[in-house]
Amino acid sequence: MSSGGPLNAATRLWALSGLSVAVLPMEGLSPLIVQIDQILAQYQPQTNPVGGDGSGIVTGQFINPASGYPITSGFGPRRSPCAGCSSFHPAIDLGTPMNTPIQAVDGGTVIGATWWDGYGLTVVVAHGNGMKTRYSHLNSINVVVGQPVSQGQEIGRSGQTGYGTGPHLDFGVYKYPGSDWRTPKAAAIDPRSVIKF
Ligand SMILES: [Zn+2]
């Protein structure tokens, strides 16, 4: 393995988890990455429900989660942008600078507010009728699971957590039954089919 970034990142994470750096596997990065993901899956970020509860009222008309920023990557097949990134993009990327306020596109209930592997800090909002929206690579999260939000309510600030090439918002729209916050790729809808960007 090469020295540098990955090991430094792992060392920081091990310090975060309270485990000894001595248990780091030194051969091969794959088991290391798996273990980092397992640790991050348990890592609960500091959340700050600054906006308080919203109305939860679903209008059925989605607004732009970060209006005024360009789409930097569209929905569908693409060349993998980085190691560990998927080649099917079940979302769109908006070129938001760090700490851009991100709005819920409609009212609903927060069902996910946590770190999700390569997606980094992620919020998922359920809007009824099986519709869910996902906001990823956030720098901070303003809501907690179970919280009702209003359309346009700030759910967090954009960032570059998880896998990625720089600050942006990865925004996905999904339709599937149930309340699982882990949005399945197969249920992804092109956000441009429901929002005018
Ligand atoms: Zn993306």
Pick 80 or 142 by higher pLDDT.
142
CA 81 – CA 189 distance, rounded (Å):
21
The alpha carbon of 94 and the centre of ligand 1 are apart by a number of angstroms equal to: 8
CA 68 – CA 66 distance, rounded (Å):
7
The alpha carbon of 25 and the centre of ligand 1 are apart by a number of angstroms equal to: 30
The alpha carbon of 23 and the centre of ligand 1 are apart by a number of angstroms equal to: 33
Neighbours of ion ligand 1 (CB under 5 A): 91, 93, 170
pLDDT tens digit sequence for 26-75: 456 666 666 666 666 655 555 555 668 999 999 999 999 999 999 999 99
Mean pLDDT for the chain overall: 83
CA 111 – CA 78 distance, rounded (Å):
29
Q: List, as one string, the DSSP characters of 96-155.
A: PPTT-EEE-SS-EEEEEEEE-GGG-EEEEEE-STTEEEEEEEEEEE---TT-EE-TT-EE
Q: What token pair was written down for 36?
A: 């980092």
Query: What CATH architecture applies to the domain 48-193?
Result: Distorted Sandwich (2.70)
Q: Could you tell me which of 142, 154, 150, 149 has the C-alpha nearest to residue 50?
A: 142
What pTM did the predictor assign? 0.75
pLDDT at site 48: 53
Please report, for the chain, the start and end positions of each structural domain, with discontinuous segments joined by +.
Answer: 1-43, 48-193
The alpha carbon of 91 and the centre of ligand 1 are apart by a number of angstroms equal to: 6
pLDDT at site 78: 78
